[in-house]
Chain A
Amino acid sequence: MAPEDNISEELKDIAPGFPLKESIDPPAGYFESFPDDVLNRWKKEESQPIVRKITWKRIIGIAAIMTGLSIGGFWFLSKPALVETNDISALEAYQYVNENIDEFEPLIETNDIQIDEIQPDVPHDAIEEYLMEEMHGTDPEDLF
């Protein structure tokens, strides 16, 4: 120890009446047996397997982490399914609808459609004339 590190000398210089630290001595013979005591304890502990103490705090912590992971995993796995539906081609969609047409029936308009509703502005005579032309002069009455 360097002279300037001597606490007693330093205290005498700063404050001559300052009380010096009282040393508290251990029971007699303590330091003689202590090295062997601590080494024996160390050997004993090293030879024993480490058993981790499981506390309630640890159990709750693990449960919280597992719950978080489950929610995260569920969210993560459910997200790609939505993305996949966007990747279905028009052909696949058409095939699916065709194969499962029964499921779509409620959505399809099944009422009879009147021709007047589709072409309300075309006169009846014009339609007849068009049909005559298409049949190259054949009288429609001859067809029946």
Chain B
Amino acid sequence: MTDEEIVTLASHPQTQEEGFKHLVIKYQKRLYSLVRGRVPSHEDADDILQNTFIKIFRHIKGYEGRSELFTWMYRIACNEVINHQKKSSKMKTVELENHDVRTAEAYLNTDNLAASLEMVVTGLPERQQMVFRMRYFDELSYKQMAEMLQLTEGALKASFHHAVKKIEEEFRSKQII
């Protein structure tokens, strides 16, 4: 079923439930993967994913089709992740103030490839960092990224290329690969 057909079904009260179901079935895996890569547990990802779809259901009538449906949903999912992270950082601050005396290093497992990658990516220039995350972790196409970031596909490809080369160099120097 095409995005247009799904949106049409979801916009009419008689068929909206059917439209919502098709929407969830089509995009749940991709959005789950996107969210799960940003939060530490499946429970967090599940909570965020449910909130994301509820928001999509509520606002689907306002979707005007100016951007791809996935791009629109991607933005909602990212906002939900940010809201979740804000809430959990508040909770963590309270926990640390009250009980926790461990240092920040204890939370990082540098043997883990994902943690090492995250550390290297954080050191990249802002644009390369953003492009790398959107392409590598979120698997967005260059077309979708260009639409969101208002940059040309050529510029985005170049940024991704530079980012990958820098990470590779850093990994080689640390004998990670």
Residues of B bordering A, CB below 8 Å: 17, 20-21, 24-25, 28-29, 32-33, 36-37, 42, 45-46, 49-50, 53-54, 57, 113-114, 117, 135-137, 139, 141-143, 160-161, 164-165, 167-168, 171, 177
The verdict on A35 contacting B28 (CB below 8 Å), with A19-B117, A26-B36, A27-B42 known, is yes
A41 touches B136 (CB 8 A): no
Chain B residues closer than 8 Å to A41, beta-carbon distance: 50, 54
Q: Please determine whether B28 and A34 come into contact, CB atoms closer than 8 angstroms.
A: yes
Q: Which residues of A contact B54 (CB under 8 A)?
A: 38, 41-42, 45
Interface of A: prevailing SS: helix
Of the four ranges (under 10, 10 to 19, 20 to 34, 35 or more), the interface on chain A belongs to 20 to 34
Residues of A bordering B, CB below 8 Å: 1-2, 4-5, 7, 10-11, 14-15, 17-19, 21-24, 26-27, 30-31, 34-35, 37-39, 41-42, 45
Do A15 and B53 form a contact, CB below 8 Å, given A1-B141, A26-B36? no
Docked-complex contact B168 and A18, CB < 8 angstroms: yes
Residues on A with C-beta less than 8 A from B46 are 26, 30, 34
Within 8 Å CB of A37, what residues of B?
50
The 4 closest A-B pairs by CB, nearest first: A5-B141, A35-B24, A15-B168, A38-B53
Is there an interface contact between B141 and A31, defined as CB atoms closer than 8 Å? no
Complex contacts, B57 vs chain A, CB 8 Å: 42
Q: Does A21 lie within 8 Å of B164, measured CB to CB?
A: no
Query: Please, which residues of chain B bring their CB within 8 A of the CB of A11?
Result: 164
Q: Which residues of A contact B139 (CB under 8 A)?
A: 7
The answer to whether A14 touches B33 (Cβ under 8 A) is: no
Nearest-CB distance from A74 to chain B (Å)? Answer: 40
User: What's the nearest-Cβ distance from chain A to residue B23, in Å?
Assistant: 9
